[in-house]
Amino acid sequence: MIWIILFICILERAHAGYKGGSITCECTTTHCMEHHMEHCNTTGVCFSQYLDRHDGSYPVVRGCIQSKTPLLCENRRPAVARGTWPLLLCCNSNLCNRDVVPTPPPWFENQNRENSTAAISEEQVLDTNEVSQIGNGLPIKNDVESPSSNQHSYSSEIPPILHIPLKPKTRSSSLPHIISPIYISVLVLGIISLIIIGIIATVVLKRSNRLYLEQYGALAQQQEQCCLKHATEHLSSVHVHCDCDSQVELLNTGSQPCIHAMYQNQSSNNT
């Protein structure tokens, strides 16, 4: 068991020593060009850097880095808001930086858009000055030089996302659209809500009216039964005349419940 553990440790050390060995990278830095070197050796990593200096020089530079974990390889967003910033692609194999260009991160694309907008505004100011000079009859100096041959040679190698052309900024209308799906949906929801509220109110009113009629009818029936019962009790001694229809109206007005008409019996008249 101990021999197996020692064998595994030896293999790990051998693998670590192999990874820490020297690698060959393509080199196009100033130092390599001065010494007529096309390759460089390092124990760290190879890099391919993109940095447009706006001086006509080749923006892609390749070379060696001695450190195995350089911070520039992480391509973090710089603290400065303006200005150019290098993009690096790091690798750790032989000639891995040949014919490769760094992939730009999202913050680099946003920065390019901001720089393009600023360049467009500067061009508009220059165009305005030229127009004013033409109106005043002053000669216009043309300081723009034709692109050099090396710019044409590396323009095909640079990806389109790194070489962003300047496009005129379109003016977007500040007024919101009157007809919008959001406005239409809000209007439809409002109409549906009003219809639902109206239906609910109608149902509630009908139900309350039905309950009121049932309670009022029961009260009128009780009053009529009371009148008939009272009249039946006095049939033996008197003749009772009860107008039950008028009695309901009298109850509503707060008068006596029944109007009694009393007549004497024939026996009393004979006596």
Taking only the tens place, the pLDDT of each residue in 92-151 is 889 998 888 777 766 566 555 555 555 555 555 555 555 455 555 544 444 434 444 444
Residue 193 has pLDDT above 90, yes or no: yes
Task: Work out the pLDDT band at 211, boundaries 50, 70, 90.
Answer: confident
Task: Work out the pLDDT band at 267, boundaries 50, 70, 90.
Answer: very low
Residue 6 has pLDDT above 50, yes or no: yes
* CA 201/CA 210 separation, integer angstroms: 14
pLDDT at 165: 41
Condensed to tens digits (0 to 9), the pLDDT of residues 212-239 reads 777 777 777 777 777 777 777 766 555 4
Condensed to tens digits (0 to 9), the pLDDT of residues 60-80 reads 899 998 877 777 787 776 666
CB within 8 A of 67, min separation 6: which ones? 44, 45
Residue 89 has pLDDT above 60, yes or no: yes
pLDDT at 25: 93
pLDDT at 210: 83
**More confident position, 253 or 231:** 231
Residue 159 has pLDDT above 90, yes or no: no
Residue 197 has pLDDT above 80, yes or no: yes
Q: What is the DSSP string of the chain?
A: -HHHHHHHHHHHHHHHHHHTS-EEEE--SHHHHHTT-SEEEESSEEEEEE---SSSS-SEEEEEES-SS-GGGG-PPPS-SSS---EEEEE-STTTTTT--PPPPHHHHHHHHHHHHHHHHHHHHHHHHHHHHHHHTPPPP--PPPPPHHHHHHHTTS-TTTSPPP-PPPPPPSSPPSS-HHHHHHHHHHHHHHHHHHHHHHHHHHHHHHHHHHHHHHHHHHHHHHHHHHHHHTTTTS-----HHHHHHHHHHT--S--------HHHHH-
Condensed to tens digits (0 to 9), the pLDDT of residues 14-61 reads 554 455 578 999 999 989 999 999 999 998 889 998 887 778 788 889
pLDDT at 16: 47
Residue 266 has pLDDT above 50, yes or no: no
pLDDT at 155: 43
Can you give the pTM of this predicted structure? 0.36
Task: Work out the pLDDT band at 240, boundaries 50, 70, 90.
Answer: very low
Mean pLDDT of 242-268: 47
pLDDT at 150: 44
